[in-house]
Amino acid sequence: MELLDRISETSTIPKYIQVVNAVISDIEEGILKHGQRIPSINETSEMYYLSRDTVEKAYKELRERGIITSVRGKGNYICQKFSPDKIRVLLLFNKLSAYKKTVYYAMLKAFGEDALIDLQIHHYDGKICENLIQENLGKYHYYVVMPHFYEHSHTIMQTLQKIPENRLVLLDKNLPQYTGQCIAVYQDFERDINNALHSGMDLLNKYQELVLVFPKDLHYPVEIIKGFRRFCQETSFTHRVVDGIDEENINEKTAFIVLEESDLVDLIKCCRVQHLVLGQDIGIISYNETPLKEILADGITVISTDHEKMGEIAANMMLQKQKGKVLNSFTLIRRNSL
């Protein structure tokens, strides 16, 4: 067990966690074997110029995780039961929705028996995410973060930089200000909606107005509004952005883009009351694909990223220890509502 060149004075990772990471790394590389004795707390402290408190804290963490065991009068040993073969992954999602579940299950499927995945929700709160990361530094091979934050977001970059860049995965949203060499599988929200709407111009041409239903009290990327407005400017479409569905504003020859499924249901109900035919009098485009939208009202047109592919790509990049950024595919799925 060699620590001299692996304990950094300037790292944001606590020294005791650096010791823990070094021990785990040596087990994974076969340098430390199951059942092998490791130096005592005093020996490690003296050999590597570390405080006794630091080493004691590291060994306590290793024992609690089942990586080492202490034998009275003999010393500390690598546990026979500890297996480094499985990749340990911490998923930090902003929320758990139908399409986030699709990402999660796609990752589980791609990993198969090769990974142990823990899922936590940070609820768009940077402070919650910071605490979850801080509490789990050094415990996982990869930290998969969906960086959608609306509360306490100002310190998130400092928090992410505490994770070694080769262990960080950004999912769903890219952070251009993060300059480390991590994995990122993401959507470009502004570009994606713009391109998807352009691809459906042959269907949209029969409508006179385009309305984006963008709830103000819910956490959606503002880049969606930017991409929508840019499309309307490029195509000279009359357009509006509204907070919710108001049946008084549902006019014929209007196409709606709805983000929330509750707004989608309200819109369909209003159309039925007013005897408006979907795909003829009124157009509907829903954001994010779910199985229900394929059959609802004879088929709802959707613009969506491929959530299953997002999870699969991220898992495969972790399995293959790759780095780099991948822009996930985003398409218009044509159905009867447009």
The side-by-side arrangement of strands in the sheet containing 301-305 is: 238-242, 209-213, 254-258, 282-287, 301-305, 330-333
Q: Has residue 106 got a pLDDT over 90? A: yes
Provide φ and ψ at 282, rounded to 5°.
-130, 140
pLDDT above 60 (res 227) = yes
Q: What average pLDDT score do residues 241-259 get?
A: 90
55, HSE (Cβ side, Cα atoms, 13 Å): 17
Is residue 9 in a domain? no
Asked if residues 90 and 100 have their Cβ atoms less than 8 Å apart, the reply is: no
Q: How far is CA 244 from CA 203, 217, 219, 241, in A?
A: 24, 10, 14, 9
Rounded-to-integer distance, Cα 240 and Cα 254, Å: 10
For residue 281, name the pLDDT band (cuts at 50, 70, 90): very high
Q: Is the pLDDT of residue 298 over 60?
A: yes
Which of 264, 255, 260, 176 lies closest to 216 in space, CA to CA?
260
Which tokens in the block code for residue 139? 């415990």
Clarify whether residues 35 and 66 are in a common domain: yes
Three-state SS at 175 = coil
Q: Do 109 and 64 belong to one domain? A: no
In a domain, 235, yes or no: yes
Give the rounded percent of residues in the chain with a pLDDT score beyond 70.
96
CATH of the domain at 38: 1.10.10.10
pLDDT at 2: 65
State whether 130 and 38 are in the same domain.
Answer: no
Considering the domain boundaries, does residue 337 fall inside one? no
DSSP letter assigned to residue 277: P
pLDDT at 8: 80
Clarify whether residues 174 and 311 are in a common domain.
Answer: yes
Q: Give the span between the Cα atoms of 92 and 96, in whole angstroms.
A: 10
CA dist., res. 156 & res. 148, Å (int): 10
Residue 224 sits in a domain of what CATH number?
Answer: 3.40.50.2300
Is 206 in the same domain as 289? yes
- For residues 210 and 298, membership in a common domain is answered with yes
Tokens 């590389």, located at residue:
29
Q: Is residue 1 part of a domain?
A: no
Q: Identify whether residues 280 and 228 lie together within a single domain.
A: yes
Q: How many domains does the chain have?
A: 3
Contacts of 285 (CB under 8 A, 6+ apart): 200, 255, 256, 257, 258, 301, 302, 303, 332, 337, 338
The residue range of the domain holding 196 is 190-305
**Is residue 5 in a domain?**
no
Same domain, 216 and 284: yes
Residue 115 is assigned to a structural domain of this protein: yes
| Confidence at 61, pLDDT banded by 50, 70, 90 | confident
10 within domain boundaries: no
Choice among 8-17, 97-106, 150-159 with the minimum mean pLDDT: 8-17
Please answer whether residues 298 and 253 qualify as being in contact, where contact means their C-beta atoms are separated by less than 8 angstroms.
Answer: no
d(CA 234, CA 219): 27
| Helices marked H in 112-219 | 126-136, 156-160, 189-199, 201-204
Same structural domain, 301 and 194: yes
In a shared domain, residues 113 and 161: yes
Residue 113 shares a structural domain with residue 200: no
Tell me the C-alpha distance between 338 and 100, whole Å. Answer: 26
